[in-house]
Structure formats: C-alpha cells, structure tokens
Structure 1
Amino acid sequence: MSRLVVVSNRTADPRKTAAGGLAVAVRESLQQTGGLWFGWSGKIRSETDAAAGQPDVRVQTTGSVTLATLDLDQRDYDTYYLGYANDVLWPVFHYRLDLANFDVRFAAGYRRVNQLFARKLMPLLRPDDLIWVHDYHLIPLAAELRAMGCTNRIGFFLHIPMPPPLIMAAIPEHEWLMRSLFAYDLVGFQAEADVTHFAHYVESEAQAHRLEPGRLRAFQRTLRVGAYPIGIDVDEFAGLAQGKEGREMFARMREEYSRRRLLIGVDRLDYSKGLPQRVHAFRELLAQYPENHNSATLIQIASPSREDVGAYDDLRRQMDSLCGEINGDYGELDWMPVRYIHRNVARKRLPGLYRASRVALVTPLRDGMNLVAKEFIAAQDPADPGMLVLSRFAGAAEQLTDALLVNPYDAQGTAQAIQRALTMPLDERINRHTRLTQRIREHDVHWWCASFLEALEHSGQEHDS
C-alpha cells in the first residue's frame, strides 16, 4: 500500500481528540493508513530567524504517523493566512464579496507560501506516495510540486463551498486559481452543488469539455472531480455520549434545565454561521409563540475564531448586543432565554449537551458541510431523539433531508420550523431520526476517506503540458 501524505495548513497530534472538523477528518485518515502529515506549525518566526533564511522542517513521529511542520515569517502569516486565505478566499467562497479585501500583496504572499510548502515537502516524498492536499489555503500547491518534477498522484479536497462562476470571477486571480486545480489528479467537493459550480466555471471561463461524468478537460489537462461529503465517526461520537464527561454533562443539563426545553447551537464565531440571524429567529419564536416564555432556552456556544480579523470583532459586538436585548426584553428572574458562551467547550462534553437538547439549530448562511449537524444526530437517544433544524445552505442539507430545512434569512419561517421541532410528536421524531442516522452511517468519515483515496488511486491524469 502506498504511503499517504496529508498536507494541510495546520497539523495536530493525531492521537488526541480534536475539536475541529478538518482535524478530526485528517486524524481518522492517518490512523487508518499511516503516513506523513505536513503543514504549518502554527508558530511565527522571530525577525532574527526570518533574516537568517528559510525555516527548517521539524519532523517527529507520533504513533504511526510522522508529523512534519515548519514555522512562518510574520510577513507570510499576514499576507498568506490573514490576507489571502481569510480576507479573500474565505469571504468570496462564502458569497461575501462585501467583506473581501483584494490587496495585491496578499496574492503574492499566498503564492510565496505555497511555493515554500512545495520546496520543503518535495525532499520528504517517496515515488509511490499518495498526496492528499486539504482546503483553500493550498489550492496551488500541486502546481508548485509539478513545476519541481513531482509525478505522484495528488488529490485535493475543498472543505468550504465552491461559489458560482460569477462570484468566483470577482477574485482578480480567479483564472490562475482554477488553472492550478488542474494540476491535481482528483478534486473533491463537499456537495454536488459545488461540483456543478466548478464545472460551470471551467466551462464558461476556460471552455472546458466534459469527457464523461466526473471528468473535465481544460488548460490541456484532464481532471477528475466528484462530491465526497465528509462525515464523522458515528460510533466514536456516540461512545463519547456514554463516556464519563458526556454523561455528566447530560445529567447536569437535565437537572439544571428540568423545567426548560433546550435549544443548542455550536459554532465558531464566524459571519458564515448566521449567528445574528439565528438569534433574530429565536426572538421571533418568543414573539410568535408566547407559550415558549419561561420554557425554551437557547444555549449558543460561539468559539473564538480568527480574532485578529476585524469582521469578527464586529460580529462579537453584535452578538453581545442581540443576546443582551433578548434577555432584557423577555427574561425573568428565574429564566434567561439565551445563554451565550464565547469560549471553547471540550469535545467530550458536547455529546451530553446535544443529548439533553430538544432542538439543534444549525443555520449557517453558507457552509461546506457542517459536522455539528451530524454529531447532534449521533448523540441522540433513539427512543426520544431531539430534532435538527438545518439551513438549506449547509452542504449537509443535501444528505440530511429528514431534518427541518430552513432559509436562515427568513426569521419568521425559521421560527415556525423551530416551533414545529419543539412540538413534533414522538413517532415522527423517531422516524426522522432513524433515517438521519442511516444517512450519517452510510457516509461516515471512514467512507469519506476510503472513497476519496480509492478514486485518487484510480484517477487517470494526463501530465501533458
């Protein structure tokens, strides 16, 4: 079996229970196949070290996995990570052109760091390695590796949404970015809608030809594309619900909120997650359905995220204000409608919190997949499951059609769906949960890893120029 080489912006110890979706997915892949995980260490080099030359790669073995990391200079961090990745690609790919900053210095830094990654990775590769590159930070990495003579099979997976052609075309370097993807053998997306957007882009902008389903030819190269919706380890997460911390959290929530019906939201503090819109919908629920007064409580966890980006400061202030207003207008001495928590919650505790909740609100304005939706389903008691209210703009909505799908921009419609979830009969909840559980088991993280790598192994790339 070929060695698997995973490349991502950041790495983490694969033996630890990670909190983020990408980290969990990469950990699962490497634990199954072993191999090398290459990426940024998360550290910034001092000015003295930066002046001395390029960073060295640090290699360490963690169980069966080799971790190879390098530090970044402050300039590269500012332009590649804060600049191009998070001030250009992230907002545009989430349809927020109004938040994008198309500074030419950002594009130069993005290319420079991808070239650095390629130079440092190349000596570590073996001829038969399978290389799996992850996410928007590293779109041009395969092109840089090919320029250095790399002939390995290289796959790329985009964890965030692929925007429609006209939105993608707002990026000044959009043709270069999309051309870079044709240096891969396989490009995977979260949803069929993303595949469609990509195909429409290369057909309209690069006169690409569809050779057959799942194969496109443009820029004198042939590329295989497909939807590989990422999943979770269902048994592992269900096991966490039965673990010590999961059971303690469940018992604590049931005791503290014995007279309440809990609604739960778990997100990073990010403008793509639709948090203000969710709070507005909850306020609309209280206004439309007064029977929820002194009864329904929304626990909204918003983990800190990219706090050195200005848009997130504005979002945090907005959330503080909205939650305070609802509690001031509707709260009682013994009832706080919204419990807003701006910090991380240990992953081992989350299943207990999910299991104690009657409704989960997963209502992003745009999301590649959203694994919280799947984790909520996995944590439920099959005999008395909670209900999932899910944005139609999350990638998970393509699979989880038995959730209550909503338009997060429609506060009244979302409030009606929340009320339906709160009052849904037990037999309907059980039937919906059974079908939802079947879907997350069919396409779990093991399926995701195996199906992508199998497709990569059998992809036929024409390395002509």
Structure 2
Amino acid sequence: MSRLVIVSNRVTVPEKGGAAPAGGLAVALRAALEERGGVWMGWSGKSSGVREPAPLDIKVHGNITYALTDLTKTDVEEYYHGFANRVLWPICHYRLDLAEYGRKEMAGYFRVNRFFAQRLAPLIEKDDIIWVHDYHLIPLASELRQMGLKNKIGFFLHIPWPPADVLFTMPVHEQIMRGLSQYDLVGFQTVHDLDNFGGGLVREGIGERLDDNKFSTYGRTFKGGFYSISIETKEFAEFARKAASNVMVRKARQSVEGRNLIIGVDRLDYSKGITQRIDAFERFITTNPAHQNKVTYLQITPKSRSEVPEYEQMQRTVAEQAGRVNGAIGTVDWVPIRYINRSVARPVLAGLYRLARIGLVTPLRDGMNLVAKEYVAAQDPDDPGVLVLSRFAGAARELTGALLVNPYDIEGTAHAIARGLTMSLEERKQRWEKMMDHLLKHDINRWCDDFLQDLARS
C-alpha cells in the first residue's frame, strides 16, 4: 500500500501521551495515516523575523511522521492574513465587498506555497500519494510538478467554490485555476461547488468538462468530484450521551430553569450570519409574546482572526447587538441571549447540543458546516431537538429533515424558530431519524475512504 502524505496549513499533532486530537477531521486523517504509514506536513503556527528557516520539526508518533515548518512574520502577514484570508476567503464566500487584493500579498501567497513545496519534496517517496487540504495551498501541486514530482496529488477544498461571475473578479483567477489543474483529483463539498468550477472553465474558454467528473484544461486532464465532509457520527452520539453527566452541562441545565434552550455555535466570522440570527431571534420574541421568559438563546462564538480588521470590528458589533437585544426585551429575571466569546470544551459542547430544543445554524454561505451534523448526532433519540438550517450551507443538501431557512429573511427564520419550538414529538423524531440515518452511513471515515479511493483510481 502506498504511503499517504497530507499537507495542510496547520498540523494537528497528538497531545502528550499520544491522545487523539479533538475533532472528526483530525481523527479520520490520523487513522488513514496510521493505516498506510505516512507524513503530515504543515505550518507549526510559529513565526519570527528570521529569513533563514529552522530545520523541519520532525515528530514521530507510531506510523506517522509529523513535519512542521516555521514561517516568517512577513510570510504569515502576506500569505495567511493577506491573500488567503482577505482575498480567497471572502471571494469564495461571495463577499466581493470585503476582498482586498494587493500584489504584495498575492506574491507572498505563491512564495509560501513554493516554500512548502521545497520543504516537502525531500520527504516524498516514489509511490507516495499526496493529499493537499484547503484554499491556503491551491498552488502547491503546481510547485511540486515544476520540481519534477510525478506522484498522484489530490486536493480538497473545505470552503465553497463560487460561480464564474464571482471568481473572475479576482485579478489572479487564472493562476488559481491553473494551479488546480495540476492535481489529479480536485474535491469539493457539494455538487454545486463542482458545477461552479466546471462552469467557470467552460465560460472562461480555458477548458472543457469531458464528463460529470473529468476536466481538461491547460494541457492536463484531471478528475473532479464532490465529497461532503462529515463527523464521527456514532462516536459523537455516544460522547453527547455521556456528556449529560458533565458538571458544566448539569449547571447549564439548572441555569436555564426549565426554559427551552436555543443554541448557536460559530467561529466569529462574517460568513456565519450571526447578526442576522440575533435579529431573527429578537423578531421571534417580539412576534410571539407567549415565548417571552420561556426560552434562552445561547450563542457560543470563539474569537477568530482578530489580526484582520474586519473580524475585530465584527466582534464589537455582535457583542453590542446582543447587549442591545437583551436591554430591549429582557426582564429582571430573564436574560434572553447569553453570548460567550470564547471556546467551550468539546464534552461540554456535546452536552449543550443535547440540551437544546433548537439548533440554530444559519450561515450566509458555508462549504458544509459540521456544527449542524454534530447537533443532529448529539440528540436524544427519545426527545430530539429541531435543526434550523440555512439553505446556503452545504449541509442543507444532506440534512433534509432540517427546517431550511434563508438567513437574509429575518421573518422567515423567526417563523422557523417558532415552528421548531411547537413541533410535535412525532414529527421531531421523524425528521431526526431521517438525518441520523444519513449521518451514520456517511460519516467522516467514509468521506476519507471515498476520496482516497478515487484519487488512487485517477
């Protein structure tokens, strides 16, 4: 069996004692590496002003070699904070108004990808299969090909891929498309993302779609596919069941004092629709006075990319909005919105999902959204909650038992909250069972296996 080499912007190294990292993706990739033997390479998270990089930090755990590289502060600013998160991220999330293209940042993005390739190439053996992850590293295969590597190289994009009219606003869109053409398999979250990619090739006149999953452009023929990422469904369900006895979860149950709990869990990001969600909750309360003092909305939103000005501003905006709503509709004995601006331990989070009657997952645009899947997996089969889900999340293509909403439609989302809170137990069970059956069949391990099998056949 060929060795597997995974490359990602950041590397999840096991904690002391070899404990598996939290999160389904890291668990699945680690299992695939253990089975095949291999290397996981990426940025260490450390940066300095030193021009000459330190040697790779090599850590061996069982069958896996972790290879971590430092970056310079300039690299981090231009490649990560600059082009990746202020050009690619907003454009892929359809936010042209927030994209700030700069030639210096663009050059830094390609320079760091070349640097990754130079550090990775000496580790590669002839029959290795290379799997590159996410938008930070789109040009990596092109750099490796220029160095003479003939290995099979796959790429998976964890975020949405926009249609041609959005993508082509980016000044270097052709270089990005050319970079993707150097992979043997390009994977997207949904069929819509795959269609956007193929449509862009044809519309720009730079390639053609030979069949549903084969493309030709820039002198290369390669495969494309959609592989909806998932979670470790069975394990997470058991995790949530046991979390009911967690001390913090018991305190949370006592603190809501018999009220229905509505939960939202999101990284602080403008793509998540948090401000629209708070507006929808306020509208729900003001138009359904019978629910006043009967519900608690818990929004957990860890800080994200605070070095980027748009995120710092958003942090202030969300906090001020939550405070305004609490001031407007709260009472002496009822705080409608509890806003937590930090991370919550995964055992506690699983227990909170299980407590919540409504899971409110309403991004403006999302590649998949694993919170929606975790919420479903965490539910009590005898008394499941209701998932209110944005139709613009990739998860909406799979979780057909959810109440789908347009997050821009404040009235519609407020109505869905009300419907979820009054839904009969029979309907809640039917909707939940449909989604849970799907997640049990399509878990994170199947996602990993499907992609690697298709890459091996490419």
Are 1:11 and 2:8 counterparts? no
Aligned residues of 1:206 and 1:218 also touching (Cα < 8 A)? no
Matches within 5 A, 1:296-315: 296-315=295-314
Cα deviation, 1:13-62, whole Å, max 9, x if unaligned, reads 245454567545534543454421000000002x3x32xx2442111112
Partner Cα distance (2:386, 2:232) in 1: 20
Aligned to 1:437: 436
Partner Cα distance (2:303, 2:23) in 1: 12
Output the amino acid matched with 1:388: L
User: Alpha-carbon deviation of 1:278?
Assistant: 0.4
User: Alpha-carbon deviation of 1:347?
Assistant: 1.1
Aligned residues of 1:192 and 1:227 also touching (Cα < 8 A)? yes
Aligned to 2:401: 402
Output the amino acid matched with 1:286: I
Aligned to 2:450: 451
Aligned to 1:318: 317
Output the amino acid matched with 1:71: D
User: Alpha-carbon deviation of 1:245?
Assistant: 7.4
Tell me the secondary structure at the aligned position of residue 268 of structure 1. Answer: coil
Q: Per the alignment, do residues 19 and 268 of structure 1 end up closer, same or farther by CA in structure 2, a change over 3 Å counting?
A: farther
Q: Per the alignment, do residues 93 and 16 of structure 1 end up closer, same or farther by CA in structure 2, a change over 3 Å counting?
A: farther
Gaps of 5+ in 1: 460-465
Matches within 5 A, 1:23-62: 23-45=26-48, 47=49, 49-50=50-51, 53-62=52-61
Aligned to 1:185: 184
Q: Per the alignment, do residues 17 and 308 of structure 1 end up closer, same or farther by CA in structure 2, a change over 3 Å counting?
A: farther
Aligned residues of 1:143 and 1:183 also touching (Cα < 8 A)? yes
Partner Cα distance (2:390, 2:372) in 1: 10
Runs of 4+ in 1 over 6 A off after TM superposition: none
Cα deviation, 1:137-168, whole Å, max 9, x if unaligned, reads 00000000000011110000000000111110
Partner Cα distance (2:35, 2:286) in 1: 50
Partner Cα distance (2:36, 2:249) in 1: 35
Q: Per the alignment, do residues 322 and 216 of structure 1 end up closer, same or farther by CA in structure 2, a change over 3 Å counting?
A: same
Tell me the secondary structure at the aligned position of residue 184 of structure 1. Answer: coil
Output the amino acid matched with 1:327: N
Aligned to 2:342: 343
Aligned to 1:286: 285
Partner Cα distance (2:414, 2:26) in 1: 33
Matches within 5 A, 1:189-208: 189-208=188-207
TM-score by length of 1: 0.95
Matches within 5 A, 1:91-110: 91-110=90-109
User: Alpha-carbon deviation of 1:243?
Assistant: 3.4
User: Alpha-carbon deviation of 1:404?
Assistant: 0.4
Tell me the secondary structure at the aligned position of residue 347 of structure 2. Answer: coil
Partner Cα distance (2:430, 2:455) in 1: 37
Partner Cα distance (1:374, 1:383) in 2: 18
Q: Per the alignment, do residues 225 and 287 of structure 1 end up closer, same or farther by CA in structure 2, a change over 3 Å counting?
A: same
TM-score by length of 2: 0.96
Partner Cα distance (1:206, 1:258) in 2: 61
Cα deviation, 1:112-155, whole Å, max 9, x if unaligned, reads 00000000000001111110000000000000000001111000
RMSD: 1.5
Tell me the secondary structure at the aligned position of residue 126 of structure 2. Answer: coil
Partner Cα distance (1:397, 1:246) in 2: 31
Output the amino acid matched with 1:410: D
Partner Cα distance (2:416, 2:316) in 1: 27
Gaps of 5+ in 2: none
Output the amino acid matched with 1:324: G
Aligned to 1:463: none
User: Alpha-carbon deviation of 1:258?
Assistant: 3.1
Aligned to 1:462: none
Identity %: 51
Aligned residues of 1:142 and 1:183 also touching (Cα < 8 A)? yes
Q: Per the alignment, do residues 414 and 18 of structure 1 end up closer, same or farther by CA in structure 2, a change over 3 Å counting?
A: farther
